[in-house]
Structure 1
Amino acid sequence: MPSVWNVPHRRNPHFTGREKLVAQLHAALTSRRSTALVQAIHGPDGVGKTQLAVEHAYRHAGAYDVVWWVRAEEPVVLAADYAGLARELTLPESEAAEQAVIVAAVRRWLEQHTGWLIVFDDVRDPEDLRGYLPDARTGHVIVTSRDPNWRGLAEPVHVPVMIRSEAVEFLLKRTGQTDEAAAAALAGALGDLPLALEQAGAYIAATEGTLAGYLLLFRARREDLLRRGARPPDDPAIVTTTWEIAFRRVEQETPWAAMLLNVCAFLAPDGIPREIFGDAAAQALEGSAAEALGDPVVLDDAVLELRRYSLIAAGETLCAHRLVQAAARDRLPEDERKTWAHVAVRLVNAAFPDDVGDVGQWPACSGLLAHALAALGHVESLVVTADPVGRLLNQVGAYLRSRAEFQAARACFERALHIDEAAYGPDHPNVAAIANNLGRVLQDLGDLAQAKAHLERAVRIDEAVYGPDYPEVAKDLNNLGAVLHDLGNLAEAQACYERALGIFRRSLGEDHPHTQAVREDLDFLRSQTRRA
């Protein structure tokens, strides 16, 4: 394998057909035509775009020194995953605070070296890749996307559903059966859609059923789903039906596996860390969820069961297809959707580092970022505001601010402020902490008037809660002083710094880093005042 490799998917042992597409992709990437060095695999969900990229990566691994997988659905996750390559390459910029600096360093390295493959998986908007595609013709890029409009950025490769002969070949290979007529009938009912074919084949293999028997089951279940109006947002009932058949079986045989899938449905599809379950889940959750997801042995059984029915893929991390996630969420009544979305938030919150300013914690934050954003997105759409939604939003915002993703950080802080104001009231210390963070990122964005207002509010709340000489008040005052300094209100800024310095000296001591930092800010301001 290449010395640098982070593909989150195992190679599919049942990969069948698609040889023309695999060969076309490889030939284009090795043709030395500049436009062909970026291949954009596009098509609807479930046709196997990601599987095609995975197969190329494994089949041609020997041709590369670096194979790097980037989750590209969310721009901030795209930036974090791309920047993560800098750590593996031990680039000096890898610990820079601004991700833009790291991204530029990675791009330069790619332009100066050969023998690499970058996969951008599930790109929503082609424009999102503008700053990431290297200019030099030194390596290969594969993009997967539902968007077909790649002219000028990449050479598009349309991935259709399987041709019938490939679908039949796949079903026979996947199930070990020989009835070609039954395989053809089932493939037709499934629309030759690879994801549906895989789920059907996995179910038949797991239950030792027949192709004809599954077709009867599929038709009956589909009629039931259509009668109930249970359709997923992106698919005309095919994947929902194959998923429903498998899930009902899992739910009957292994209820805790169903619980695991319910949680995964509210996280990002790829790279779900096993570490958020086990002991961490036992501490973060309660009741049956804690028992199911908090016991490592039970968790392993659940993973094996879901893999058996091809409901998730598992390696070092877990992966669930987006359509499977959508079907899982769609099946739940609203109150259960709220429950499982909240469970997902609690698990990610328990795993998300406390000190997001610590460079050593950034890899952990980066790995959890996609899952935090996914879970938080679901609780927002479901109007779930219970603990610890505000806390996770605040932590994610603080991490994004530390990486100079200021607009994304601002959005997190504003949501967190709204949630915690409603939950705790306008004068709670949690509200002060978020107002403080929001004020700082508004300062970063140059909105000094709003920054001042939020920081003054933080001072008022913390003074009322803790008294005038508490370290939290000093932190607020120091940040307010910095904004006043930027506004040119030097006398007011000096008063804030002097008061903060006095509090830190009395409470933390002369040599504490907080004390030293305020002293440096105050000395700098005084030097400016003298020059003025």
Structure 2
Amino acid sequence: MPPAGGVLVHAVQGSLAAHHIGQVTYQAAPRHTVSWPHQVGVIPRRAGSFQDRAEVHRLRAAVNGGGTAVVCQVLAGMGGVGKTQLAADHARRAWADGQVDLLVWVTAATRQAVIDAYARAAADILHTDPADPERAAQAFLAWLEPAPGRPRWLIVLDDVADPADLRDLWPPAHPGGRTLVTTRRRDAALATHGRLVPVGLFTPAEATAHLRHALTAQGRSEPEADLAALAEDLGHLPLALSQAAAYLVDTGLSAAAYRTRLADRARQLADLLPEPGELPDDQSAPAAAAWSLSVDRANELRPAGLARPMLQLAAMLDPNGIPEQVLTGHLVLLCIAAQQPLRDDGSPAEEPPKVTEEEATGALRALHRLSLVDHSPSETHQAVRVHQIVQRAVREPLDPDHRDLLARIAAQALMDAWPGTERDTGLASALRANTTALMACAGSALYQPVVHPVLYHLGESLGHSGQVAAAIQHLQQLTDTATHLLGPDDPGTLTSRSNLALWRGRAGDTAGAAEAAVLLLEVQLRVYGPDHPNTLVTRSNLATLQGRAGDASGAAAAFDALLEDQLRVLGPDHPNTLTGRNNHALWLGHAGDAAGAAAALAPLVEDYLRVLGPDHPSTLATRNNLAGWRGNSGDPAGAAAALATLLEDQVRVLGPDHPSTLMTRHNLAHLRGKIGDPAGAADETAALLHDRLRVLGPDHPDTLATRSSLVHFRAEAENPTSAAAAFALLLEDRLRVLGPDHPDTLATRFDLSVWHGLAGDPGRAAKETAAVLEDHIRVLGPDHPGTATVRVALAHWRRLAGEP
């Protein structure tokens, strides 16, 4: 048996009759005998750190399960996933195990390369004339046809670039024959010839093992955690892992140091891989250049010229999934068209040719066919995936101006796809992930010429989804970057500071948020003047913070004064004026005038209906507020009925999982308990908790609030000790998520102290209540209504405990 890669050629004798194949007639060489087994072509060497991965066994099972008819296996996947190595491993095994008598390895990058390889095989076996490779190739294919005494054969067509190259060159059906194809293509034409075997990335374990084996073979050892992290950074792509391991060996860098260089956007990927002449395992191209030919071919497919700009745009976004509407929106269509300077007839285009949504989708399909992206339209929120190394290889050759333009196009495409109401929480999550990915590769492009609105919108979306800490972190980074790039007085910087103060307040840092808002207002008065809309917004935020600090009457007075200026500057129907009226009514109610709040909100709802319409989120929110204050002013039954009607509209407009819909369910359950149905309220709250856990997660402040309500509703039906235990668990989570000074955390500490007292330990209750009172005074102030409530409770528990 010859070694892998060897070629055996034997003499022939005798004669064969003439054969006719299609339009080709040939005279066979004199009859001969060939000693089997026989191999034509050189199988690529086994990679130094070849992994016995899942695809190896899947391919073996596919071939062995092929039955008696020939089965063509098509190994399809993106460049660099190791298709050739898998095919070579399978060929070597089949050869070594004696499963084939004839093995032909064809490097099939072009049609001519296939013809030439077949002609060489024909010359070896049939002694055909090498001067006519077309005729010789057809002779070889004819000889492969089923006939008595034919050998068992395996034909490997490696790296097929275009299915059209194999027209009339596919090996025939043969009971003892097998064909194995490797290709980056996923065209339907390939599937008609055989079974598709997708080849993907290494698993995390396989990728880490690959790095470890490659380094160990060179006497290197690295911490397993560092190797796993590097494998993750390289997206578990076999080609990139192999070349990175070679780079580590050549340079002596540690895996941790290499990761630092890899994360440095100022470094080119090509500079972090071996030189072309130093590539491991006979690889032909660095990872950074491995996909350039595929991009060229995709760009030639219909609709011609669109695949490249589409891939460049996708390279700016989240590799783990891009919603299709982001890549097929109106702005994207215009910008893709602008990159086509000539018409179809080659004449100069005065205006860019129009690109339709259908053509944009066609460009995605072209990229999918070349395995440059995975396009799965059924996965609505992650329809397009691009490997991060492919993205980097596409981005880095672009000139800086082109990259910056792509970043701004991508940012606006995200904004255009972002719904005003985040009814689809999955879509909102995907858009946030894509914005975060865009920020990582856009540099300063999203701050020029102004801060792009998508950066503010990301903070809002994070906050409204319950990720308040993440929203604050993002807005702090946004503020710092804008200050550095644009200056402290730039409108973008001031807007960032405003949003940051807002969410700090919503997170419970009332004092810190108020201090930041006061400083911001001083700058805005100097830069904008007193009547600028942004100045008025900061005054509104300050008034809200004043109320949250316990001065409800002061907040109502501040909103009353602000409302006069909003009416004068903005007019009665401006959304900010309507919001000002809503806030004024809100703090009237918190100041003790529930009836006055309800009376102010009733005409406001009518104005919202007239100005914004019945289905606008602000209209729905104001109806919620009106029902709440009706309940607080002595009409809980009427308020519950109003909320039930509102809930139907919110489900229709916002969807059942929208945070505002869930909030209405929360308020409705509270009112049911208030009107004498605690059992029904508890059941509704339990169902709401299930949905909030599913939609918002266990750490969302709204989820924690529902847990608190459920404990309250169930406490009277349970023993006080069980209620105290439930509040203790809730307190642990609120401390972890919200921090010790958040008002909700203070409220839970107070509830826990109450139930310790009801469980028969007034001394403990008094001690805990005294500590809560101290923090109430420090955080909310001595005049806050909650502080007064805690004072009364402290006196009560001290009296029961016999304390002075």
**Normalization by structure 1: what TM-score?**
0.53
Q: CA deviation at 1:426?
A: 1.6
Q: What does 1:39-118 align with in structure 2 at a 5 Å threshold?
A: none
User: Contact 1:307–1:313 (CA<8 Å) still a contact in 2?
Assistant: yes
User: Contact 1:278–1:296 (CA<8 Å) still a contact in 2?
Assistant: yes
Q: 1:527 to 1:212 in 2, by over 3 A?
A: closer
The aligned residue for residue 473 of structure 1 is 535
The aligned residue for residue 298 of structure 2 is 250
Which is greater in Rg? 2
Q: Amino acid of the residue matched to residue 519 of structure 1?
A: H
Q: CA deviation at 1:481?
A: 1.6
The aligned residue for residue 187 of structure 1 is 87
Q: 1:425 to 1:330 in 2, by over 3 A?
A: same
1:313 partnered with 2:313: no
**How far, CA to CA, are the matches of 2:510 and 2:386 in structure 1?**
41
The aligned residue for residue 303 of structure 1 is 364
1:280 partnered with 2:331: yes
User: Contact 1:497–1:521 (CA<8 Å) still a contact in 2?
Assistant: no
The aligned residue for residue 162 of structure 1 is 56
Size of the aligned set, in residue pairs, is 354
**How far, CA to CA, are the matches of 1:283 and 1:416 in structure 2?**
29
Q: 1:399 to 1:320 in 2, by over 3 A?
A: closer
**How far, CA to CA, are the matches of 2:456 and 2:277 in structure 1?**
38
User: Contact 2:553–2:587 (CA<8 Å) still a contact in 1?
Assistant: no
Q: 1:299 to 1:440 in 2, by over 3 A?
A: same
**How far, CA to CA, are the matches of 1:285 and 1:246 in structure 2?**
19
Q: 1:256 to 1:421 in 2, by over 3 A?
A: same
**How far, CA to CA, are the matches of 1:167 and 1:230 in structure 2?**
36
User: Contact 1:266–1:344 (CA<8 Å) still a contact in 2?
Assistant: yes
Superposed CA RMSD in Å reads: 5.0
Q: Amino acid of the residue matched to residue 250 of structure 1?
A: A
User: Contact 1:398–1:409 (CA<8 Å) still a contact in 2?
Assistant: yes
1:369 partnered with 2:327: no
Question: In structure 2, the residue corresponding to 1:173 is in which secondary structure?
Answer: strand
Residue number among 275, 280, 287 corresponding to 1:227 in the alignment = 275
Point out the more displaced range, 162-171 or 240-249: 162-171
**How far, CA to CA, are the matches of 1:203 and 1:312 in structure 2?**
16
Residue number among 49, 73, 76 corresponding to 1:173 in the alignment = 73
Q: 1:385 to 1:504 in 2, by over 3 A?
A: closer
The aligned residue for residue 421 of structure 1 is 483
Residue number among 389, 396, 407 corresponding to 1:333 in the alignment = 396
Question: In structure 1, the residue corresponding to 2:481 is in which secondary structure?
Answer: helix
Q: 1:213 to 1:356 in 2, by over 3 A?
A: closer
**Normalization by structure 2: what TM-score?**
0.37
Q: CA deviation at 1:335?
A: 5.3
User: Contact 1:280–1:351 (CA<8 Å) still a contact in 2?
Assistant: no
Residue number among 481, 500, 521 corresponding to 2:562 in the alignment = 500
Q: CA deviation at 1:517?
A: 1.6
The aligned residue for residue 261 of structure 1 is 311
Q: 1:390 to 1:502 in 2, by over 3 A?
A: same
Q: CA deviation at 1:201?
A: 6.2
Q: Provide Cα deviations, 1:115-136, integer angstroms capped at 9, x if missing partner.
A: xxxxxxxxxxxxxxxxxxxxxx
Q: Amino acid of the residue matched to residue 439 of structure 2?
A: L
User: Contact 1:372–1:396 (CA<8 Å) still a contact in 2?
Assistant: yes
Q: Provide Cα deviations, 1:208-265, integer angstroms capped at 9, x if missing partner.
A: 49899989xxx9xx9998534999xxx9989767634423433567543122112212
**Percent of residue pairs bearing the same amino acid type:** 18
User: Contact 1:260–1:293 (CA<8 Å) still a contact in 2?
Assistant: no
Q: 1:376 to 1:190 in 2, by over 3 A?
A: farther
User: Contact 1:443–1:451 (CA<8 Å) still a contact in 2?
Assistant: yes
User: Contact 1:267–1:375 (CA<8 Å) still a contact in 2?
Assistant: yes
**How far, CA to CA, are the matches of 1:190 and 1:451 in structure 2?**
65
Q: CA deviation at 1:388?
A: 6.3
1:402 partnered with 2:464: yes
Q: CA deviation at 1:188?
A: 3.1
**How far, CA to CA, are the matches of 2:165 and 2:407 in structure 1?**
30
Q: What does 1:287-298 align with in structure 2 at a 5 Å threshold?
A: 287-288=338-339, 295-296=356-357, 298=359
User: Contact 1:442–1:448 (CA<8 Å) still a contact in 2?
Assistant: yes
Q: 1:331 to 1:492 in 2, by over 3 A?
A: same
Residue number among 501, 523, 528 corresponding to 2:588 in the alignment = 523
Q: 1:201 to 1:520 in 2, by over 3 A?
A: farther
Q: CA deviation at 1:351?
A: 3.9
Question: In structure 2, the residue corresponding to 1:310 is in which secondary structure?
Answer: coil
**How far, CA to CA, are the matches of 2:450 and 2:525 in structure 1?**
25
**How far, CA to CA, are the matches of 2:362 and 2:368 in structure 1?**
10
**How far, CA to CA, are the matches of 2:327 and 2:482 in structure 1?**
24
Q: Provide Cα deviations, 1:314-335, integer angstroms capped at 9, x if missing partner.
A: 3436755553x41241354365
Q: CA deviation at 1:467?
A: 2.8
Q: 1:425 to 1:285 in 2, by over 3 A?
A: farther
**How far, CA to CA, are the matches of 2:548 and 2:84 in structure 1?**
71
Q: CA deviation at 1:439?
A: 0.8
Q: CA deviation at 1:438?
A: 0.8
Residue number among 314, 326, 347 corresponding to 2:410 in the alignment = 347
The aligned residue for residue 3 of structure 1 is none
**How far, CA to CA, are the matches of 2:277 and 2:314 in structure 1?**
24
1:455 partnered with 2:517: yes
Residue number among 492, 514, 526 corresponding to 2:579 in the alignment = 514
Structure 2 regions of 5+ residues with no counterpart?
Answer: 1-50, 77-82, 93-156, 170-178, 184-238, 247-269, 342-351, 594-782, 789-804
Q: Amino acid of the residue matched to residue 371 of structure 2?
A: S
Q: 1:474 to 1:388 in 2, by over 3 A?
A: closer
Question: In structure 2, the residue corresponding to 1:426 is in which secondary structure?
Answer: coil
Q: 1:284 to 1:501 in 2, by over 3 A?
A: farther
Following TM superposition, where does structure 1 have runs of at least 4 consecutive aligned residues deviating by more than 6 angstroms?
167-171, 183-186, 189-192, 199-202, 209-215, 222-225, 235-241, 354-357, 528-532
**How far, CA to CA, are the matches of 2:539 and 2:74 in structure 1?**
66
User: Contact 1:485–1:493 (CA<8 Å) still a contact in 2?
Assistant: yes
User: Contact 1:341–1:379 (CA<8 Å) still a contact in 2?
Assistant: yes
The aligned residue for residue 441 of structure 2 is 378
Q: 1:309 to 1:212 in 2, by over 3 A?
A: same
Q: CA deviation at 1:477?
A: 0.9
User: Contact 1:259–1:289 (CA<8 Å) still a contact in 2?
Assistant: no
Q: 1:489 to 1:175 in 2, by over 3 A?
A: closer
